[in-house]
Structures are given as C-alpha cells and as structure tokens.
Structure 1
Amino acid sequence: MTTPFTITVRYFASIREAVGMGQETVQTGATTLGALRDELIARGEPWATCLSRGRAVRVALDQTMAHDATPLAAGAEAAFFPPVTGG
C-alpha cells in the first residue's frame, strides 16, 4: 500500500460544471493517473458520471497530455477535461 500524498486536481469545461469546482487539493494513494480517476469515480456522484470509464475524458499531468498508466507523484497537478472539438 502506498502512503497517501497530496496533489492538485483541476477540472475543465463540462467536468468543472458537473463537480462544481475548478480545482481541489486531494490526498491520494494512487500511483497512476488511471488509479486517481478510479478513486475519484469511487466518491460517487457527480464524479462517477462525469469521469466514468464509458466517457471520453482527457487527462494531463503537470500541463502535459498523459494517459492512465502515467505515474503520479506528490505535488503533481492532474487535470481532467472532455475532448475538445472545433468548428
């Protein structure tokens, strides 16, 4: 088991609207971005719906696009946002 550490989680666009905040400080034991997403989903609503595995959600770590297997460390900034379309 990993010792919990603190990170910043940022939410953008429709995800920010759903969770009602733009960012929060989170204590987590997650070792990857995917595990962090699962922890947030486990909180229940509204995270369960807007971050669900059936939804297309992009993720970044320290302002760089990343994927579920990207390692997470203390002091990191994780960001979740829906895919962006233009037109």
Structure 2
Amino acid sequence: MKLVTRNLVPNGPGSVKLLPQIEDDLWDAYNLIAVGDTVEAVTARKIGGRDTERVKLTLEIAVQSVEYATEDSLMRVRGKNQTKNE
C-alpha cells in the first residue's frame, strides 16, 4: 500500500491518504478503518433519463460499518454521506 499523504496529530485526530496496490492492501485498510471514522472516496453516478451523463462525485462517508469479503477481496464501507449533493 502506498502512503500518499499523512497529517497526524499526537493524541488527536488525523488523516491519511492510502493507495491500495495489491489485494492484500484492502485487508490492511479494513483493519485501519473504524466505526466513527470518515472515509473520502470518488465515484461516478449516472444522471438523466434518456441521455444519461456520468458525473464524478466525491463522497465523504461517516463510517457505520466495515465489511471485508476474503474470497472476493472486496471491502464495503457503509455509512452516511456528509457532503451536500450538487
């Protein structure tokens, strides 16, 4: 896993930006993320009816649960989006 940025405060809140490079990195991320943390992720959403357009969104999720599926190497973070929709 590549550590892109790190902003840590002793005995206080902090943030890190991680870039998984192999499947085992998701397991490490699963063990780092806890309920109550905030996770930021980029996704795409289809907007419109007949002529759909893909819009890139940045989500800031307040973590309510984290799951990891070992057989598929998938990590699911569930929670509520903290950013307003545009």
TM exceeds 0.5?
A: no
Which structure shows the bigger proportion of residues in helix conformation? 1
Q: Which has the higher contact order (CA 8 A, sep 6+)?
A: 1
- Radius of gyration: which is bigger? 2
TM-score normalised by L of structure 1 = 0.27
Which structure shows the bigger proportion of residues in strand conformation? 2
TM-score normalised by L of structure 2 = 0.27
